[in-house]
Amino acid sequence: MPYWYLLEDDDEQITGCIGLIDHEFISRTDISPWLCSLYIEKHRRGKGLGSLLIEQVKQDAYREGFKKVYLCTELNMFYEKYDFHYIGEGFYPNGDSAKIYETNLKE
């Protein structure tokens, strides 16, 4: 780890990305691993591509022996549809807060 994933379209253009990392730059250094940097190009959103990337990260984390994956976000009601649930607030070094979510991994 870290693992970085790129998603290409039919023209071999990068259209999305995601990462799986040991530590996020947030106050909760006691939990790991973290899903990070989910991004889908605007013109490709709404087609389930983010779901593909999230599921790949979850599968790979499970294969690595992890039971949970965490993420931090400012979004509301996005990651819940991918079985993530809110567990509390975390803080960046500059004092900004972010919501922390976790999901239980399964085969």
- Average pLDDT, consecutive stretches of 10 residues, N- to C-terminus, the chain (107 residues): 92 95 93 97 93 96 97 92 96 94 91
List the alpha helices (DSSP H) in the chain: 49-63
What is the model's pLDDT at position 75? Answer: 87
The CATH number of residue 24's host domain is: 3.40.630.30
What is the model's pLDDT at position 106? Answer: 86
The range of the structural domain enclosing residue 59 comes to 3-104
Residue 39 neighbours by CB under 8 Å, 6+ apart: 16, 17, 18
What is the model's pLDDT at position 107? Answer: 66
What is the model's pLDDT at position 39? Answer: 97
What is the model's pLDDT at position 11? Answer: 87
Task: Quote the pTM value.
Answer: 0.92
Residue 55 has φ and ψ, to the nearest 5°, of -65, -35
Q: Which of 107, 96, 97, 71 is nearest to 86 (CA)?
A: 71
Number of domains, the chain: 1
What is the model's pLDDT at position 88? Answer: 96
